[in-house]
Amino acid sequence: MDLNEINTYIHQHIPMTAAIGARVDSFDGQRVAVSAPLEPNLNHRNTAFGGSLAALGIVSGWVLLFLKLKESGIANRLVISKSSFDFLEPVDGAFSAICQLPGTEEWGEFLRTLKRRGRSRINLHSEIIGPGGGTAGRHEGVYVAVVSKEGGSG
């Protein structure tokens, strides 16, 4: 999938991503960057709404897993089962979420468990980067993949 296809997919299947203006900017096989503009995410203080920041953190992890499992040819259903977010500083402009795969050992164990048991979970971390380039927040999520017999992904 190219970036346009990925963005079309998430906007169709996760409509909230279109509403907040989320866009997958890059994917290099190990790391994904997802961005959003400030305007549709404003709060009463003219900074980014905390729920939008947390949502972008969740989406970045979901997109990373979606793409990696697609690359692996594993049809699955993918959900988040636990989420936490630390707000570090206000965001007063466009922002992005960066999520990187964990180490080779953890990723390998996730895939082996998924193939063996048909279900696996993995903990992913995302950083929210504010307009000045600093870390404005940190997301931690536990994502669960379940092998799908229908052949779909996501």
Q: Which amino acid is it at 86?
A: D
Q: What is the pLDDT of residue 80?
A: 97
CATH code (residue 85): 3.10.129.10
The answer, yes or no, to whether residue 58 has pLDDT greater than 70, is yes
pLDDT tens digits, residue range 94-142?
A: 999 999 999 999 999 999 999 999 999 999 999 999 999 999 999 999 9
Q: What does the block give as tokens for 89?
A: 């500083």
| Residue 31 structural domain | 3-147
More confident residue, 153 or 67: 67
Q: Is residue 152 part of a domain?
A: no
Q: Is residue 137 part of a domain?
A: yes
Q: Is residue 153 part of a domain?
A: no
Number of domains in the chain: 1
Q: Is residue 154 part of a domain?
A: no
Q: What is the DSSP string of 83-133?
A: EEEEE-S---S-EEEEEE---HHHHHHHHHHHHHHSEEEEEEEEEEE-TTS
Q: Is residue 112 part of a domain?
A: yes
Q: Is residue 41 part of a domain?
A: yes
Query: Average pLDDT of 33-60?
Result: 98
Sequence-separated (6 or more) residues with CB below 8 Å from residue 17:
10, 11, 59
Q: Is residue 49 part of a domain?
A: yes
On whether the CB atoms of residues 134 and 89 are closer than 8 A, the answer is yes
pLDDT tens digits, residue range 60-103?
A: 999 999 999 999 999 999 999 999 999 999 999 999 999 999 99
Q: Is residue 30 part of a domain?
A: yes
